[in-house]
Amino acid sequence: MTDTSARFALPLLQPGQAQKEMFHNEALTLLDIALHGVVESIGDNDPPSTPAFGVCWVVGPAPTEAWAGRADHIAGWTAGGWRFVAPVPGMALWLRASGVWVRFDGAAWSIGIVPALAVHVSGQQVVGARQPAIAEPAGGSVVDGEARAAVASILAALRAHGLIMA
């Protein structure tokens, strides 16, 4: 038996434990930080000097002061001071400043990258895996400069968006 939960290390209540409310409240505080998390920034090493209650940050790789030893953790300011939640693989947070998701892959946080096998709109796949390269038009018995330029522009746009290989 363990004193903490397996994924987020939340404190668990034990039979015969005194002051169970302290452990329960600590678990709720940590859940409040982690559940549908929103962070102000990612990668800061120094804690803010005047944090607001309930505001969170993703700690940088070389943390100092109260954040020392908590690299990559989510730091939340509470009535009881700093609380930290260690990230788990697959964890996603909303980065308020940029309006994008940040995700933890088990080793590092990525900013604004949304992994997917496909993108569907109204039940129809509109983007899937990158397709093989398409050759530029060449040859033929009739050369149409405007048509070739249009096809070349389409291919350039598809390559620029990463939808086909260069």
Residues 62-85 pLDDT 10s: 999 999 999 999 999 988 899 899
Joined tokens for residue 163: 């939808």
The C-alpha atoms of residue 144 and residue 26 are separated, in whole angstroms, by 72
| DSSP characters over 51-86 | PPTT-EEEE-SS--GGGTT-TT-EEEEETTEEEEE-
Q: pLDDT category, 22, cuts 50, 70, 90? A: confident
pTM for the whole thing? 0.69
